Structure 1
Amino acid sequence: MPSNSRTSSTERLLAGLSERQREAVTHTGGPLLIVAGPGSGKTRVMAHRVAYLIGEKGIPPWKILAVTFTNKAARELRERCERLVGRGSDELQVRTFHGFCSRVLRSDGEHVGLKPEFTIYDDDDQARVVRRILDDLDIDPKQFPPRALLGAVSDAKNNMWSPAQFAERTETYREEVAARVYEAYEGALQRANAVDFDDLLLKTFMLLEGYPEVLEKYQQRYEHLLVDEFQDTNPLQFQIARLLALKSRNICVVGDPDQSIYSWRHADPTNLTDFQATFKGAKVVTLDQSYRSTQVILEAADSVIGNNGGRMEKELWTENSRGKRVTVAEAYNEEEEARLVLEETASLGQKEGIGRNEIAVMYRVNAQSRAFEVACNREGVPYRLVGGVKFYDRREVRDVLAFLRLVANPADDSALERIINVPTRGISARTLAELRRVATLNDVPLLDVVLDISRVQTGDEQPAAFALELATRALNSVGAFGDLVTRLIEQSMALDTTELIDLTVERSGYGAMLREDKERGEERMENLQELKASAEQFGGSEERGQLIDFLENVALVSDVDSLQGGDDVGVEDEAITLITLHQAKGLEYDAVFLVGLEEGLLPHTRSVDDPMQIEEERRLLYVGMTRARKRLYMFRAFQRRFRGQSGAQMASRFLAEIPESLVTTRDIRGHARVADRMPDPMWTRRQVAVPAPRSARRSENEFSAGDRVRHDHFGEGVVVSSTGTGGDTQVTVAFAGQGVKRLMLSFAPLEKVEADGGAGVGRPDGLADPAEAKMEILDPDQFAP
């Protein structure tokens, strides 16, 4: 290609990119770290970098591997590359980490004990295996919950400990039980030719680390490696990326340590600094220009995240308008909070033209959605609830997928256990336990025992291979099921996946069962039709077969990849989005309402005693704040009820980190008040903690948090906070049935109600004493992410 022509194409490719974006796109001299702030165009940079490598540097697309955190991000990056490169992008490898590792193991996993048709177990499959192990070991699942044991197993795998290595490190009885379960769990997965998500990473690392010829194969295959959302990688993912790029050093990682919010998935934000230590001389490019948010929103977010230590410093800026101040509002309780949010969303539509589909309500825990769902239904406001029952988690879909999994991998015990009596075949739990006992005793998959019974039932003269203690009726039922599975496996060889789904639904009796269900049968059958459609759209590769590829794709679908709405609302409809902060990562909206800004919710009650966890909670809030393009609202409730418990809530410490100049506050009645003209106690008290005993605080002013007071008009209430002295004293009071009021004592005198027998000794409206509020904050288990 003539040089002037190449120069022209390069200029076209780089047109519209900022100077720093161009620098990130065109660097090809070794390792590159791109620190990309929220809304800074990182996906655009990655796509243009791929196009630059292919079009300007002549790198074949199949020599480039791009790894993302979610399937949604992979699709978006692939689509952008296709628009820039055209047909040349067909052979570009864009995958999630788990997707890439799955492909590696299907090709070379026999080195680490896996057959190519292995099954990927999800959370439910894992829990089923552990419950069975606990039963076999005679361990009470109430004392040792399967999810907690699986957490210990996951920790061990992410530390790269084998069951034996984990057992050597045990110090308590609970750890000893976890070690026994880990050993049995690994044995169960091995017999089933199955892996969990941690195994996909661990076994790939073991493969690349332990077999130099396999590592060299993939190092030669991929000359350039790009990794997105590097702050969300865990140590195993870091090591896999390191091994792949160790030879060429052509690795580009993109991330933002300020957006690392998945430590509970073993994500480690220090991987970004470790990257610089591992790949000496790596170039660092910081993308700090935001194309999303207003300057006010960026400054507010920066003021919060700036309180974290050890950061890679960056200060976001934008050429967008300065924008309106962040609105902070206090409501009396969660119902009032929901009502005020809906009122404001209506106002945004009328006054600013922001439609409901550009509005999101974000919260720390799923339980907070209830008040908003109730309010939306009451007011007739359409909404989509992210994190509802996902399509592939619906019962009928999981049942049919279990049949398909068993056809693809006859050793998949978890799949067999799910559908051996679905629809009902007269196979009891006792019968299944006997099948399991014999399979374990003989170290064979469950299906081997089932098919042996089926063989004998059909008149085979060879004696039974296994001795079972089952009644004739049970043997007949098990034999009939084995015959069904045999026919499905045989016929699957000549059918594509959609045809196999049809055959499975009818031959298994599942279709007849749904047709008899007059209440929900039609809806559930429609879900199976949608499953067929997804299989038809998916296609598949010939070398492994469509069925295995399809099942792999289903297993790897991320929980943050799709919006599951309430009331069958489509994404294109005018519906408000209700979503957790974790699920909101990667999304953006014109207006964002962050609700529940209270101690115990954000920051989470499980984090308040751990400085590192407080920093992650602050990063989580930062992620939420930077989802907003134009308007940002932050709400808290004075009182909140969960699971029948009610208590006064303290304002989140993070609110005090936002400068007053960036904030407009609003009281419960909706009257705006600019912070720099009328200071709010939320900002004047610069730290949040359980108040000291009253005797230690009487010198500050006449009123203290927790005092009972009476007002001539509002009645009795409880003091939330008090600032100032003398005639300048301002007292914030929660009045029963009237909400939260801020009163200047010089204009609205209050009378203190003594607690030793005067009228109104009882708490108004059942309010808890604010001085005890932090102690009363709710059961931690209900706040699981």
Structure 2
Amino acid sequence: MLVRELVGHHLDENDGVGPSELCVVGDADQSIYAFRGATIRNIEDFERDYPDATTILLEQNYRSTQTILNAANSVIARNTGRREKRLWTEEGEGELIVGYVADNEHDEARFVAEEIDALADSEGLKYGDVAVFYRTNNSSRALEEVFIRAGIPYKVVGGVRFYERREIRDIVAYLRVLDNPGDSVSMRRILNTPRRGIGDRAEACVAVYAENTGANFNDALQAAAEGRVPMLNSRSEKAIASFVEMLDSLRAKLDDELGDLVEAVLERTGYRRELEASGDPQDLARLDNLNELVSVAHEFSTDLANARALAEQGEGEPVDEDIPDTGVLAQFLERVSLVADADEIPEDGAGVVTMMTLHTAKGLEFPAVFVTGWEDGMFPHMRALGDPNELSEERRLAYVGITRARKRLYLSRAKVRSSWGQPMLNPESRFLREIPEDLINWRRVEQPSSSLSAPVGNAGAGAQPSDDHPGARRPRHPRQVRAGPGRGGLGRGRIGDVTDRLRQCGSGQADAQSRAGAKALRLAPASRTGRQRSGLGAPAQSQQVAAVGRYGEQQGRRGSGENRRTERCLEAGEEEHRDTEDEQRRRTG
């Protein structure tokens, strides 16, 4: 109302004041912050609120190639009720978009790393010219680990590195205490996390007792639980006793599978329960990160068990008997430390790869852009599948991500992605299906039968897709990629050195299973791929995923309710997609 009064016409022509004017610039196709309270109606209803306004469509784009703009136009055109406009440019058609269907998130991350290296070799791009986008922050973990191993410098914009995130450091601190009760730094971090009534004064009393008696902090806590610490009130004693009892019960699970142990920590400490009860969207993101940590633990346990089984059969790297077996948990914590404490790789003039969520990417641009996770349930997000308004916003988010690229655009998806330690089979994103076939050069495609996805030649080297995928009919622009070192030591050789090891994460584990046989099944209890917590896709084949042994009935019970909710979301989302397809066919005749 105030704005309307300010821009209203003056009725008195003799007051010497000219008519008020208002200029507004906005793009309804880039309205992506509804979760912050923004509403697209401010733009969509502007012409209705001000019928005398003159609208000028700014359709010429000075950033991207026409191929990239055509993809963005095709996706956003599916949103109903929008003002019709199509971006165009004088920059030329440009290169085709590159598509890749990965076995899992590790294969997807490996592909991204290889392509970044290839861009440095063949096209002279610097690391600072490249950006990697993902829908949610927890998706950065697999990419970060691959980049660290491959020596690719990176920065996470709008967030922190995976193992530096508060919730990850909290749970890792619990694991450190379980492995080494004498770790006083970790013990004091988790003492009142989440809050359990052990305040600063109680902690100070325990610390003074430890200093006066020469005991470590853990022994002082035991003394406090037994009522032997002076000046500690009964309420604090009871809270500390409950904390000590909880740690003892968790230590009894140290022989459990590592992923199950992490799950037990989340449940027994109440950490997950506190986040689930919160209405803060950031706490939902923290839950996603903890989900990823559980998956990391399951993968590590399975990898280690398979490696041991193969070594015993003489097919893997031999086990050095002189090196003591420190246990799965200790080895996992050592790996986490190596990744978390990895030194920042010097830029040496080439800059660093930028990693960020799609929301953070708005307003930015890069010569080369990778957008990962094009799967229903990931992007669009699971929460949007049953809500047409949220699905429209997710489509606008796809539009924003695509139009960040200036010259080169890469779109990738994973057939299988881990969630709470289980392999989740997600269908291709409906947004990816909305991009015309002739705009994408598929480097690797999904096979409908025996394997998750089949490599077409050498992935990342301009290979052709197979004939059983629609992408085989698309025009191709194959290019050769040099082997050997690249500019500034960025050559493909560095990636090649780690490729085989990275492939063992996920799909490569299936080969390990087939060789290790029954011994691996006994050593490596892992997730059962037939159990579909999300309701997405069809059951995985045993030879496709590292599905050795059993994961346990707990996940299945907890997932059954979510499975039913997800099925309802998918049905609603697919119905919306069919409606938009029918509308598109009517528009095109």
Q: TM-score range by the shorter chain?
A: 0.3 to 0.5
Relative contact order higher in (CA < 8 Å, ≥ 6 apart): 2
User: Which structure has greater strand proportion?
Assistant: 1
Report the TM-score when normalising by structure 1: 0.35
Report the TM-score when normalising by structure 2: 0.46
Rg larger in structure: 1
